[in-house]
Amino acid sequence: MRAAWVLLAALAALAAYYIYLPLPGTVSDSWKLMLLDATFRAVQQTCHLIHYLRLSHHLIVLNYLICTFDKLKSVSSEPINITDVVFDGVEVRVFEPPAKQDEPLKRSVVYIHGGGWALASARTSLYNNLCRIMAESLNAVVVSIEYRLVPEVCFPEQFHDALRATKHFLQPDVLAEYSVDPNRIAISGDSAGGNLAAAVCQQLSKDELLIVRPKLQALIYPVLQAFDFNTPSYQQNMNMPVLPRYVMINYWIDYFNGNYDLAHSLLINNHTALDVHQALTFRGRLNWTSLLPSSFKKNYKPVVQTTGNAEIIQEIPALLDVRAVPLLAENETLQLQPKTYILTCENDVLRDDGVMYAKRLENAGVEVTLDHFDDCFHGCMIFTIWPTDFSAGVQTRNSYIKWLDENL
């Protein structure tokens, strides 16, 4: 009996050691975040073992587990009509609120989900409920794009899917079919979906044949560059759940169908060293020492290698392709962007991506709202349903929807 208690105590100690992470005191629901992160790490390690044994790709297994354990739970009281249709070969889920006599035409949001270009779905409860709440709160038609994922396809196919579906929806006859006001359309997304939303918005702004254009773009903790993995937020939050720096670098490698052996070189910015001539053109567009406020720069120093590895850019030219890294777009493109909302979280490696994009857009003359949350973490906005319900999720979601309601 005594041995059993000793074993139980040892297991409890091991579990506590595995779960506990030293988090900043400002992080809300810190123990719940530790549990979420520990669960995600355990599942990822299992998936990587399966990958190592060559039984399946780890991202396929991980996404299967996410979708299998995801239970569709509606949190909306108003009847929202949900239909799955195809826009120019791309699956989308459309959320339509009931018609109102005093409002014959509705607002609309084209939404692109996150997940590192590899995980999640418009059909999971996390995004299904977010889009339902948006449709209900805004009395808007919400189009959630079910783009194809890594490893089935890699860049630029996710971008092409999002662009094709959005352009199809923006056709006047399609908007009329859904009773959408062509002057009140936003494009939005979170994380990798924010990346796709920004890239699609840039592409649409340069399309001279387009009749209808988005009025707004709303980007939620977007990933916007793979040029510098040592911005202050990457350094500050390198081990922060649920998106440590090494995980984000691996997502980029998967997106570009690259080699994991390049991860360390990317981490120390060997791909954008001063002797990598392909990167010189873009360096001035991502100078965080001038784009970030001092409160974000703190005491961090730039990591700029004198000599690096130019073969990385030759092997993965998409690292400098603005369709993948919209933060590197030229000023002439940024000037064409619509009114913009960017939500960032302090405890997130991607914080500075959003802050720098906000500053570059502002410098280009675009009206920008930067909505920063000191106590929140990456991915929090979709975590509003038990057992992954966080106060940070409700807080950021309400702020995001409030801005859309006031500006769309």
Residues 6+ apart with CB under 8 A from 4: none
What is the DSSP annotation of 27-47?
A: -TTHHHHHHHHHHHHHHHHHH
Say how far apart CA 378 and CA 242 lie, in whole Å.
6
Q: Which of 70-74, 184-188, 271-275, 296-300 has the lowest mean pLDDT?
A: 70-74
Token pair listed for 296: 């974000």
Average pLDDT, the chain: 90
Q: Which of 94-103, 108-117, 230-239, 364-373 has the lowest mean pLDDT?
A: 94-103
Count of domains for the chain:
1
* In-domain check, residue 355: yes
- Average of per-residue pLDDT across 127-148: 96
pTM metric for this prediction = 0.94
Output the pLDDT for position 12. 43
| Residue 67 pLDDT exceeds 80 | no
Which residues on adjacent β-strands are paired with residue 96?
81
φ, ψ dihedrals at 80, nearest 5°:
-110, 125
> Is the bond leading into 293 cis (omega within 30 degrees of zero)?
no
Output the pLDDT for position 24. 80
Active site residues: 191, 348, 378
Token pair listed for 329: 């777009």
| Residue 13 pLDDT exceeds 50 | no
What is the DSSP annotation of 186-228?
A: EEEEETHHHHHHHHHHHHHHT-TT-S---SEEEEES----SS-
Tokens 């084209």 belong to 110
Residue 369 belongs to domain with CATH number: 3.40.50.1820
Q: What percent of the chain has pLDDT over 90?
A: 74
* In-domain check, residue 28: no
* In-domain check, residue 42: no
Cross-sheet strand order for the sheet of 368-377: 81-87, 90-96, 140-145, 106-112, 180-190, 216-220, 339-347, 368-377
Output the pLDDT for position 101. 75
User: How many CB atoms within 10 Å of residue 114?
Assistant: 25
Biggest CA pair distance of the chain? 78
Output the pLDDT for position 43. 79
Q: Which residue has the higher pLDDT, 31 or 156?
A: 156
Q: Which domain holds residue 266?
A: 80-407
pLDDT per residue as tens digits for the range 75-124: 555 689 999 999 999 999 999 999 887 778 999 999 999 999 999 999 99
Say how far apart CA 142 and CA 329 lie, in whole Å.
28
Say how far apart CA 152 and CA 110 lie, in whole Å.
23
Q: Which of 48-57, 154-163, 329-338 has the lowest mean pLDDT?
A: 48-57
Which residues on adjacent β-strands are paired with residue 107?
140
Output the pLDDT for position 14. 44
* In-domain check, residue 222: yes
* In-domain check, residue 107: yes
Output the pLDDT for position 17. 45
> Which of 84, 75, 134 is closest to 109 using CA atoms?
134
Output the pLDDT for position 15. 47
Q: Which of 94-108, 164-178, 280-294, 357-371 has the lowest mean pLDDT?
A: 94-108
Helices (H), 217-310: 232-236, 245-255, 263-267, 277-283, 288-291, 294-297
* In-domain check, residue 315: yes
Say how far apart CA 342 and CA 219 lie, in whole Å.
5
* In-domain check, residue 246: yes
* In-domain check, residue 26: no
Residues 6+ apart with CB under 8 A from 143: 87, 92, 93, 94, 95, 108, 109, 110, 111, 165, 169
